[in-house]
Amino acid sequence: MNKLKKISTAFISVYDKSGINEITTELNNLSVQIISTGGTAEHIKKNGIEVSPAETLTGYPSILGGRVKTLHPKIFGGILSRSDNKEDQNHIKEFNITKIDLVIVDLYPFEDTVKSGASKKEITEKIDIGGISLIRAAAKNFEDTLVVSSSKQYSKLMEMLTKHNGETTLQQRKEFAAEAFNISSHYDTAIFNYFNSELEIPAFKASHSSGRKMRYGENPHQKAFFYGNLNEAFDQLHGKEISYNNLLDIDAAISLISEFKKQTFAVIKHNNACGVASRPNLTEAWKDAFAGDPVSAFGGILVTNATVDQATATEINKLFFEVIIAPFYDENALNILREKKNRIILLKKELNLPDEQVRSVLNGLLVQERDKKTEATQETEVVTTLSPTDREFQDLEFANKIVKHSRSNAIILAANKQLIAGGVGQTSRVDALKQAIEKAKALGFDLNGAVMASDAFFPFADSVEIAGKAGITAVIQPGGSVRDKDSIDYCNKNKMKMVFTGIRHFKH
C-alpha cells in the first residue's frame, strides 16, 4: 500500500475559500499546475498564484448561470484515467487530456441553506452537481488521484506537501477516498430527506458525519458506537468517558426534564425516574427527589433545569452518582462536584431533539414520530361527578409528565409535586400499581390525598379500586376502555376524581 505518486496537477473548486491560500501557495512552491473554476480561480489569482481557468481545458465557458462549469471529458478524463491502463493512456494522448492527480472540492452548503429557512428555489440551487461529481470521480480513481473533500483534511494535505514533497501513498489516497464517499453519501442523504419530507417515499436514509467508539455496549462483551455530535447537546466539564448505558440514561433524563417549566430535580435509573420534585428552592427539590427512592438513586443520573448552587451541590455530593446534568453551575458548586474524579458533570445546551425515533427490529428499522404531546389541565376531561381540586390538578399534570417517560406498563403516584413511587415495566397494570403502592409504603409515604397517573387505560375497575383503598383521591388516564364506565362508577361511589386525557403514552 506504499505506491508513491507525486502530485503534478491539481484541480480546485471550493465554495468556502478558507484555508485555500496556504494550500495553493505550497502547491505553487512544488511547481504543481493549478486548474480552477470561477470564483475559486479569481481568489487564487488574488493571492498571486498562477492558475489556469477550467475554460482553457474545456473550450467552454461556465454556462446556465454556473450550473455547468466542470462537466466535461477534458476534466473528468484527466481525473479518471488509469496510469496502468493502456487504452486510457492512448485516449489521454489522442484527446490531449491533462492528467489530474489532486482534486480539492468544497461543496455548496445544502444543509445550512435548508436550516436557514431559504426559499425552495435557493435550496435547489445549492444542490451541488459538478462538485459532487468531481469528488466521486477522484475517489473512484484513488489509485492515481488524491481527493480532498473537506477543509478538515487540509492539515493532512499540507503535511504531504511540506514533509513529503507532494508525494502520496496508496494507503493515504484510499483513506481520503473513503472520507470522500462518506461526505458525498451524507450530502445525497440530506438532499433525499429534504425532498422526501413532502413525498414520503417508503425509504429510510440517515447519515451522521461524526461519531465515537464507546468503551463497550450495554455489557462489556458488546461493541458499540455513537453516531452524532454530542457537543451539540452538552459540554462535559468533568469526569470519565461517557458510556453506552450513560447515554441511554442521559437521553431519558433530558427528555424528562424538558417537560418541566418550574424548577425541578429528577433522578433517573435505567431510563426510568426514581425521584422527581418541583420546588421553589433547588436544594429542597433535590432532597424531595432523592426521598422518592434513596436506594435506587445510588449510582443514578441527576438532572435539573436550574442552576446548581453551592448549597445544593453540598447535599448531592453526599451521594454516589454517575452523572449530573444542568444548564448552569456556579463555580463553588463545580468545585464541590469535581471532588470525585470519575463523576461526569454535563452542562446542558439548548437542543431540539430529532422529530423521529429509530429502532432496529428484526432485519429492519422501526421509525416513529417523537411523542411530543403532554396534556395540560385544560385539555383533560373530568369524567367523574367530583372534579379535582387545584392542587390535585397540579399533581395530576405533574404525575402525567413522569408516566409519559416511564416504561410500560407504568403507574406513577405523586403528591405535592413529588414523585412518591412508580411501578414501571410491568406486564400488567395492576402489578405496576401494586408495586408502586408497596414501594411508597416501604418508604414511609402517606398515600392519603395522593394522585395516580397511568400511561394507558384501565381495562377493568380493579386498578382504581386498589388505588382508592390505598388512599389515592384523583386519577389521570387516557380512557378508551370498553369498561371505562366501571372505573368511573367506582370513583363516583367512593368520592374519587378521575380525568381522561384521550392520549396514550406507551413506552416500550
Angle formed at CA 277 by CA 263 and CA 453, multiple of 5 degrees: 120
Task: Compute φ and ψ for 329, nearest 5 degrees.
Answer: -140, 140
Give the three-state DSSP class for 451.
strand
Q: Is 405 a catalytic residue?
A: no
Nearest to 157 by CA among 173, 134, 170: 173
What is the C-alpha to C-alpha distance for residues 508 and 407, in angstroms, rounded to an integer?
6
Residues 6+ apart with CB under 8 A from 494: 468
**Catalytic one of 270, 287, 340, 434:** 270
**Count of Cβ atoms closer than 10 Å to residue 30 Cβ:** 15
Q: Is 270 a catalytic residue?
A: yes
DSSP 388: P
Q: What's 199-265 look like in SS3? A: HCCCCCCCCCCCEEECCCCCCCCCCCEEECCHHHCEEEEECCCCCHHHHHHHHHHHHHHCCCCCCEE
- 10, β-bridge pairs: 34, 102
DSSP 427: S
What is the CA 285 to chain-centroid distance, rounded?
Answer: 29
Q: Where are the beta strands (DSSP E) in 352-473?
A: 356-361, 364-369, 381-382, 411-415, 418-423, 451-454
**Count of Cβ atoms closer than 10 Å to residue 119 Cβ:** 9
Q: For residues 321, 327, 332 and 334, what is the CA-based torsion angle, rounded to 10 degrees?
A: 40
Contact present, 206 and 358 (Cβ < 8 Å): yes
Contact present, 288 and 279 (Cβ < 8 Å): yes
* Helices and strands of the chain, counted as H and E runs: 19, 25
**Catalytic one of 17, 45, 91, 140:** 140
Which residues are known to be catalytic?
Answer: 140, 270
